[in-house]
Amino acid sequence: MTGARRLVGALAAAGVRQLFTLSGNQILSVYDATIGRDIELIHTRHEAAAVHMADAWGRLTEQPGVALVTAGPGMLNAVSALYTARMADSPVVLMAGASPRGQRGRGAFQEVDQVAVARPVVKAGWSIEDPARAGDDVARALALAASGRPGPVYLSLPGDVLEGAAPDADGASSTAGGERVLPALGERDALAVVALLAEAKRPLILTGPAMGRGARWAAVERLASAVGAPALPIESPRGVNDPWLRGATRLLGEADVVLLLGKPLDYSLRFGEAFARGARVIALDLDAVADARGITLSLTGDPAPAAERLAAVAATRARPVTAWRDEVEAARRATPPTWEALRRADGAPIHPLRVCDALAPHVAAGALLITDGGEFGQWVQAGLAPRERIINGLSGSIGSALPMAIGAKRAQPDRPVIAAMGDGTFGFHAFELDTAVRHGLPIVVVIGNDARWNAEHTLQLRTYGAERTVGCELLPSRYDQLAAALGCHGELVQRPDELAPALARALGAGRPACVNVLIDGQPAPTFGGGGTRGQA
C-alpha cells in the first residue's frame, strides 16, 4: 500500500466518482492508483479548467468537486480558478502534486511553497506529510470543503509521500485542522432579529452565494415568507447592479431593515452605501464582522441553521400583510418596455436580446444556463429567467463558463446545458471543447461575437472618450469552424431568423456544439438606483 493508494481509496469511500485533472510527473502515481477503481479521470486541457469543472459540480450537487493537477506551474495555473470558487462559496478540493518532501529547501524540480500560494484563496490548505495519513487528510479536506460556508480546500501531495509505503495508521492525528463548531443561534438573538424584521415596514434579506443555492435557499425562502421580506442572492461581480435584479436594484435603498445572511458588507453592497441612511443592518455570518461600520447587530453563527431557526420563531408571530415584498419581486421580474421590440428586432448584427429571445424557450423547458463574461454575459443574465443558473460570481473572473458547462453536464447528464459567453471569454478555454468531445458531454456553447473586449471598451468610452479607445479589438473569427475541427457541431449565425433553427440543431446534435452569433456590441443594461449614498 502506498500513499497514493490510500488517497484514492479515501476518495472512493467518500463517493467521489471522477477527478477533473491534467496529468503531470508528480501525480502519475495517483493516476495509476485509480486503475480498477470506480473513479474516472476527466482529463482537461488546462489546470484552471479542471478547477472550474469541479466548481460547477460542487455548486450543483453541494458535494465537493475534486480537481487534481501537477506541481509548480500546474498548481499555479489552477490558483485563479480557486479564487472563483472561493468567492462563490463553492465546495472544491484541489489536490496538486509537489516536489519531494525529502528534497524540500534544496531547490527541487518545481519546488514552490504551494500551500502558501493557495492560502489566500482557500478555506484551508496543507501538505500531506505521512503516506499512512493520506486517506485521513483527504477525508478531512472533503468534509471541510462542504461544511459551514462551503469553499475550496487545497492539499499538496509531495511525490515521495504519494509513492511512500503506507502501513495501517496508528491512530495519531493528522496535521490538518477541522472546521470550528459554532454555537446555534440563541433564543435571545433569534427574538432580537425577528423583532427588528417585524418592526420594519420594508425588510429585506440578502444572501451570499452559498445561501442562495439548494437547501440553504429553501430555508431563506421560508424565512422570507414568514417575515414578509423579499430575499435576493448577491452573487454577481456587479453586486447590487447585477442585471438579473433588474428594477429591484432601484428599491434596495428603500429598505429600512436589512438582514445579511452569509453575506459580508463588502464592495458588492458598496460597503453599506447601497442602503439608505438610517437603515438598520443585521449581519449573521460564520465570521465576526471585522469592521462594524454600518452594522446595527452583528451575530456569529452558521447562517443556514440560523435561517431555519429564525423562520420557526417568525412563524409564531403575527405579521401585517404589506405590498413591499410583491413590489420588489415585481420589479425584479419586470423588463423595460423597449425590450419587447429589441427581442423581435430583425437587424444585423444581432442585438443580444434577440439572442435571449431564441434561448428563452430552451431555458424555460429546463436547460441549465451557464454564463460569464462582459457585456454579452450581462445581457444574457438580464434577459433570461432560468430556473437555475451558474455565473462567474463575485470574483469577477471571466473564462469559466465553458469548463463549468462540462462539470455541470457531468453532474446533471440528462439535462441540456447551455453556456452563453462573449468571444473574449470563449478564448480562455476554447480547447475544452476537445475535453467535452473526448468524454461524450454534449454541451451547447453560444458565443456572442462582437469582435471586441466590449466591457473594457465600454469603460474606455465612458471614462476616456471614443478617441482614446485602445487594445480592445478582436476579429469576428469563425469559432464555429474551430469547434468543428475539434469534432463538435458548429454553426455560424449572422441573421436573427437563423437563430432558432441553429439552436435546435445544436441541442439535437448529440455531441458538443458551438453556435457563433455575430452580435451588435451593446453596453450591458443598467437599471440604476440601489442606494442613496453613492454609486458603484
Q: Which of the four pLDDT bands, split at 50, 70 and 90, describes residue 175?
A: very low
Q: Is residue 444 domain-shared with residue 365, that is, in the same domain?
A: yes
- Give the pLDDT confidence of 373-419 residue by residue, as tens digits: 789 999 999 999 888 899 999 999 999 999 999 999 999 999 999 99
Q: Alpha-carbon distance 21 to 68, whole Å? A: 5
Q: Is residue 292 domain-shared with residue 414, that is, in the same domain?
A: no
pLDDT of 222 strictly over 90: yes
Domain boundary among 303, 333, 363: 333
Least confident of 162-176, 212-226, 377-391: 162-176
Domain boundary among 280, 301, 333: 333
Residues paired with residue 401 on neighbouring β-strands, in sequence order: none
Percentage, residues of the chain above pLDDT 90: 87
Q: Is residue 369 domain-shared with residue 261, that is, in the same domain?
A: no
What is the secondary structure of 437-482 as a DSSP string? HHTT---EEEEEE-SB-HHHHHHHHHHT-GGG--S-B-----HHHH
Q: Is residue 156 domain-shared with residue 30, that is, in the same domain?
A: yes
Q: How many domains does the chain have?
A: 3
Q: Is residue 359 domain-shared with residue 263, that is, in the same domain?
A: no
Q: Is residue 427 domain-shared with residue 352, that is, in the same domain?
A: yes
Structural domain includes residue 178: no
Q: Is residue 326 domain-shared with residue 349, that is, in the same domain?
A: no
Structural domain includes residue 528: no
Q: Is residue 291 domain-shared with residue 349, that is, in the same domain?
A: no
Structural domain includes residue 168: no
Q: Is residue 492 domain-shared with residue 352, that is, in the same domain?
A: yes
Q: Which of the four pLDDT bands, split at 50, 70 and 90, describes residue 536?
A: very low
Residues 124, 130, 135, CA angle at the centre, nearest 5°? 65
Structural domain includes residue 181: no
- Residue whose cell numbers read 500513499: 3
For position 491, which CATH number holds? 3.40.50.970
Cell numbers at residue 296, please? 446595527
- Give the pLDDT confidence of 474-525 residue by residue, as tens digits: 999 999 999 999 999 999 999 999 999 999 999 999 999 999 999 999 999 9
Q: For 84-98, what is the mean pLDDT?
A: 98
pLDDT: which is higher, 342 or 103: 342
Structural domain includes residue 526: no
Structural domain includes residue 529: no
Structural domain includes residue 525: no
Q: Is residue 323 domain-shared with residue 362, that is, in the same domain?
A: no
Structural domain includes residue 496: yes
Domain boundary among 333, 362, 378: 333
Q: For 450-468, what is the mean pLDDT?
A: 95
* Phi, psi of 40, deg, nearest 5: -95, 140
* Phi, psi of 2, deg, nearest 5: -115, 170
- Picking from 132, 312, 263, 266, the residue whose alpha carbon sits closest to that of residue 536 is 266
Q: Are 32 and 391 in contact (CB under 8 A)?
A: no
Q: Is residue 268 domain-shared with residue 346, that is, in the same domain?
A: no
Q: Is residue 514 domain-shared with residue 424, that is, in the same domain?
A: yes
Q: Which domain holds residue 91?
A: 3-163
How many helices (H) and strands (E) would you count in the chain?
20, 17
* Phi, psi of 452, deg, nearest 5: -165, 150
What is the reported pLDDT for 173? Answer: 45
Q: Are 42 and 406 in contact (CB under 8 A)?
A: yes
- Give the pLDDT confidence of 142-164 residue by residue, as tens digits: 999 999 999 999 999 999 999 99
What is the reported pLDDT for 532? Answer: 34
- Residue whose cell numbers read 501531495: 157
- Picking from 409, 461, 466, the residue whose alpha carbon sits closest to that of residue 437 is 409
